Structure 1
Amino acid sequence: MTLALSAHRLHPLRWLGLILISINLSGCNEGLRQRIGIGSKTSPDNTPVVSDPPKSAPLQPGTNVIVIAVEQVGPAVVRIDTVKRIANPLGNFFGGGPPIQRQAGQGSGFITRSDGLIFTNAHVVDGAERVSVTLPDGRSYSGKVLGGDPLTDVAVVKVVAKKLPVAPLGNSNNIKPGQWAIAIGNPLGLNNTVTAGIISSVDRTNALGGGQRVPYIQTDAAVNPGNSGGPLINASGQVIGINTAIKVAPGGGLSFAVPINLAKRIAQQIVGRGQASHPYIGVRLQSLTPQLAKEINATGGACQVPEVNAVLVVEVMSRSPADKAGVRQCDLIREVNGEVVRDPSQVQLAVDRGEVGKPMPLTLERNNKTIELIVKPAELPRQG
């Protein structure tokens, strides 16, 4: 009984000792506490503070129209590799190599039909002996050039395939300066490159020299060799043009695209009958200004014109559609097919939108009188 009582009374003393030890340790410095393993393991942070903490939550990313547009069109943008036969002017002379050499080239294109119809530039595939088409997912096909049009630089390539991704075509008549312009292609061998800018201008008929049959779309999106034939798309993920040419200038460059409505019309002709059709009426034109009119009238020649801004007929080709319709030198062309024209490029484009053999009304001014004529455009003779 006594032993039990003694044992019971030892317990409070033991707890008292532990309490005293705990109290005593709490007064020790942090270094001792860490050495015996009960202190907090902290290390001083000497990293300098260089910014204040944010006062509000970061902005959440919104919808990026460029990303969505690229996701929609990108899978249908292809790389086109070509092998062309070119003449070597030094062939067989002084070790200059063979007279005919093979040259590799590369460009871009985009699929417009799931069974393998592809739009590209004519200069990408012109004279190609072999054409290879590679999709972004790695699939590769041998391509056949159905035809190309050097005047508009549009070509159509076909591969044997099914259920391919397709780039939806938009309406290039609706585009306006300031809208987004997104280019996708394979510039400088860098596949599936995306650049973006804005539509800088439309209907640039004088972008690459006079006499153009293309009302180019001008953009400031970066385009380089290898982008040729690739799509220019809008913020809705629709193709509005084919990237075709660039103009390099100090500090930057400008790029030009064939409007997709024109490219589609040329492609339909190539697929339907193997070649593009271009109407012509057979006149040489000059932009008339009041100053030029004064100079013409001062010569005392047969041609006397009003001192206005207009389109002057300088020459009419013998036995041409215009000649047969009664168009004369010194006439002023005011309208073509019901479309008001103010410069020779507009006349060219209006005629090109017509059809071979289909009557086309012309409104002329001759000796201060308005004259209505009907001309039937003929097929533009092919060079070469």
Structure 2
Amino acid sequence: MLKPLILSPRVWGLSLFLLGGGVGLWVGRLSALGSQGSPSSFPVTFTATHIESPAPQGVSPLPLDNPNFMAQAVAQVGESVVRIDTVTLAPDLDRSPFQHWFGRPQQPDSIDRGSGSGLLLGREGRIITNAHVVEGADGVEVALRDGQIVAGTVVGLDRVTDIAAIQIAAGNWSTPPLGRSVAVVPGQWAIAIGNPLGLDNTVTAGIISAVGRSSSQVGIPDKRVTFIQTDAAINPGNSGGPLLNDRGEVIGINTAIRSDAQGLGFAIPIEKALAIAEQLFTTGKVEHPFMGIQMVNLTPELRQKLQNDATLRLKLHQDNGVLVVRVLAESPAAVAGLQSGDLIETVGGVAVATTGEVQAQVEASVVGEPLTLVIRRSNQAQTLTVIPQAVSGEPSLD
């Protein structure tokens, strides 16, 4: 027969103290969770195992079998991330046409090898990467996630946006989920996948640290892109790989890092990358609208310096704006009557305050169709009509 367990008053007191403390901890935890609050349009419910919040409309939430949402996001896109291997032949410049008759045997051309990343878009075998990954290459191979190595053909590249299109044979390739970069805001999660430094299928994570970075801010003013900025580590070899959001959707193509900064990487918005790639796959080239001007952002300091230069004979009546400093001869801007010293106020009916905004409006215009500019000259507003021309390659002016 079992004897009843009899606790001394001291043990009972200690037990009740611990029980009360435990209850206090649980109540405190629940109160802390409740005090965080949530927007009324996104009600949050929590159970004993996890906290759930509904996904934005039209977006399928990731499964919750794996508590690591980043691993789930990567799993959705991993098979679409490929390695781009390039071979470039560098001819032996010391070779003589008589070497096979006289002197030492001919030496083979030297071979330069490069590597980058790419995003395989689906069954048709289309791949997006960066132009600088494949530019000048004599041969391209594509390494797939399952270890296959297949031949690739560079269909076209666009230096202005740093986008290139590669074609491989059609197959049962998976299609990555695509997101919308226009919905991205600073502070959201960012996940980069690529093959940096020859280390295949490397995943790094951070946040979106800024959006809408102009090419001049990034340090590559000859490009026509507004970039997504992230602190997810992007190293040599990541170029051309995807940038994901926390749902595993591709929101950008990683393209650039600044050598003078740590923890800053940049990606081309996916909408821009896809639009350029579509033109490359269709026609093999991209034609960009071109006006033929060079601009600077006017500041009070710059205005003072320019007006103190007697050779310019420039009279500026405001401290800010977009100042035209050069007009290319016989360009669309010159034909329209644009002059150095003009301040651009609107392009295509859209008010502009920076050179990046002017560039974006010109890029969005249509080659051969009138584009209206409102400029200020000698403190007088004037309306000019420019007919943008097409330019391929890498123009130095807008």
- Taking structure 2 as the reference length, the TM-score comes to 0.75
- 2:272 corresponds to which residue? 262
RMSD: 2.7
Q: Determine if contact 2:159/2:223 at 8 Å carries over to the other structure.
A: no
Indicate the SS of the match to 2:280.
helix
Q: Alignment partner for residue 349 of structure 1, among 355, 360, 371?
A: 360
Q: Alignment partner for residue 199 of structure 1, among 208, 214, 221?
A: 208
Q: Is residue 337 from structure 1 mapped to residue 348 from structure 2 by the alignment?
A: yes
- 2:149 corresponds to which residue? 140
Distance across 2 between alignment mates of 1:320 and 1:116: 40
Distance across 2 between alignment mates of 1:299 and 1:104: 51
Distance across 1 between alignment mates of 2:222 and 2:394: 15
Q: Alignment partner for residue 284 of structure 2, among 263, 274, 292?
A: 274
Q: Residue deviations 1:161-185, cap 9 Å, x none? A: 2221111222222211111110011
Distance apart, 1:148 and its partner CA? 0.8
Q: Determine if contact 2:81/2:118 at 8 Å carries over to the other structure.
A: yes
How many residues were matched structurally?
328
Matches within 5 A, 1:212-227: 212-227=223-238
- 1:316 corresponds to which residue? 327
Q: Determine if contact 1:85/1:127 at 8 Å carries over to the other structure.
A: no
Distance apart, 1:86 and its partner CA? 2.5
Distance apart, 1:247 and its partner CA? 2.1
Distance apart, 1:225 and its partner CA? 1.5
- 1:64 corresponds to which residue? 68
- 2:83 corresponds to which residue? 79
**Change over 3 Å in CA distance of 1:382–1:184 after alignment to 2:** closer
**Which consecutive unaligned segments of at least 5 residues does structure 1 have?**
1-54
Matches within 5 A, 1:1-384: 63-87=67-91, 98=107, 100-205=109-214, 206-249=217-260, 252-300=262-310, 301-380=312-391, 382=393
1:203 corresponds to which letter in structure 2?
G
Distance across 1 between alignment mates of 2:393 and 2:165: 19
Distance across 1 between alignment mates of 2:124 and 2:334: 46
Q: Residue deviations 1:15-48, cap 9 Å, x none? A: xxxxxxxxxxxxxxxxxxxxxxxxxxxxxxxxxx
The 10-residue stretch of structure 1 (114-123 or 333-342) with the greater mean CA deviation from structure 2: 333-342
- 2:30 corresponds to which residue? none
Q: Determine if contact 2:160/2:394 at 8 Å carries over to the other structure.
A: no
- Give identity over the alignment, percent: 44
Distance apart, 1:288 and its partner CA? 1.4
Distance across 1 between alignment mates of 2:202 and 2:49: 26
Distance across 2 between alignment mates of 1:77 and 1:68: 15
Distance apart, 1:91 and its partner CA? 6.3
